[in-house]
């Protein structure tokens, strides 16, 4: 049996990077900050997310920096050759299948983003 499922809840680190292709496809990239359950760690873990199609359109229209979201998807490894050195590079990416917009009206307040990381954030 093969299993590759990732579930994450966190805050978006920047506004979505959206690309529209001539074929009609839509691709959206996001960075997601996820707090660890340990109180000793004050730095979040960062994940690169990739969304396609309708899910990408929803993210483009409704997700902004600081927004609390939940995602479900699978881990993939992007591979490419470095143009300068020719060395092979890799980067882990979460290919999102499901996006949940979470949080409250407070999340829509620009001042709420400044609260992230001071311990007041609820997950």
Q: How far apart are CA 46 and CA 27, in angstroms?
A: 19
Predicted TM-score (pTM) of this structure: 0.78
- pLDDT at residue 14, as a whole number: 96
Q: How many whole angstroms separate alpha carbon 119 and alpha carbon 123? A: 11
Kindly list the averaged pLDDT for each block of 10 residues, start to end, along the chain of length 123: 93 96 96 84 90 96 96 95 92 96 68 40 35
Superfamily holding 6-111: Nucleic acid-binding proteins (2.40.50.140)
Q: In the chain, where are the structural domains located?
A: 6-111
Whole-number Å distance between alpha carbons of 6 and 3:
10
**Confidence (pLDDT) at 106:** 61
Pair 56, 20: CB distance under 8 Å: no
Instruction: Output the furthest CA–CA distance in the chain (Å, rounded).
Output: 48
Q: Beta 88-101 vs 45-52: how paired, if at all?
A: parallel
């Amino acid at each position: 049996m093969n299993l590759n499922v990732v579930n994450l809840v966190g805050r978006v680190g920047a506004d979505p990077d959206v690309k529209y292709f001539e074929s009609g496809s839509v691709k959206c990239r996001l960075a997601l900050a996820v707090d660890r359950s340990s109180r000793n760690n004050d730095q979040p873990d960062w994940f690169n997310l990739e969304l396609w199609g309708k899910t990408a359109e929803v993210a483009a229209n409704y997700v902004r920096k600081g927004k609390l979201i939940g995602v479900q998807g699978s881990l993939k490894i992007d591979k490419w050759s470095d143009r300068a050195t020719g060395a092979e590079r890799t980067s882990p990416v979460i290919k999102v299948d499901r996006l949940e917009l979470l949080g409250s009206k407070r999340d829509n307040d620009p001042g709420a983003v400044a609260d992230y990381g001071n311990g007041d954030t609820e997950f």
